[in-house]
Amino acid sequence: MMNAQGFAAFAAANGPATTAQRQRAQYTSEAVLSATPVQLVTMLYDRLMLDLSRAEAAQVAGSWVVAGEQLVHAQAIVAELSSSLKIDVWDGGEGLLALYGYASTALVNANVHRDVALTREVVGLLEPLRQAWHEAGASLQTTTVAPTGALGVA
């Protein structure tokens, strides 16, 4: 799993241009540095789905420059998810790595061939994983909060 500093560096890679963007980047960086590993992965998945949604909308509108930018950023996120995956720790790791590889190739092809169907296919493949990470994060919070809450101790 990636660490917070690596994620912060990844998030800052596209340097914001305006003051508002710089302030938002600082806020994001601070949120990333204080996030748990599960929260970092859910942040990556959330941004990945946002990029894919924007890419799909741009492809439908014929705005190929915007679509390309969003698809390239989505590819970078998939690469980060792939590189942070420890396949030797989990039996399903190799399968997930293969899925990431397929998604990455599909995103390249969606960009090169301006194929919105491929973008939608990747959304369909990765959205359930995003949901699963959110559920896992919520489950971890529930198990760490429930015992103290059940005793009436804050």
In Å, what is the CA distance from 85 to each residue of 57, 58, 97, 99?
30, 30, 7, 12
> What is the predicted pLDDT for the residue at 150?
44
* In the block, residue with structure tokens 């596209």: 14
pLDDT of 27 reads 65
Q: Specify the residue for token string 């340097």.
A: 15
Res 135 pLDDT > 60: yes
Q: Do the beta carbons of residue 82 and residue 101 sit within 8 Å?
A: yes
Structure-token pair, residue 21: 């963007």
Give tens-digit pLDDT for 40-92: 999 999 999 999 999 999 999 999 999 999 999 999 999 999 999 999 988 99
Confidence band, pLDDT 50/70/90 cuts, at residue 103: very high
Task: Say if residue 149's pLDDT is above 60.
Answer: no
| CA distance linking residue 102 with residue 104, whole number of Å | 5
Q: What is the pTM of this model?
A: 0.75
pLDDT of 100 strictly over 90: yes
Radius of gyration in angstroms for the set of CA atoms belonging to the chain, rounded to a whole number: 17
Phi-psi region of 62 (alpha: psi -120 to 50; beta: other; left: phi over 0): left
Q: What is the pLDDT of residue 153?
A: 42
What's 86's DSSP letter? -
Spacing of C-alpha 82 from chain mean position: 11
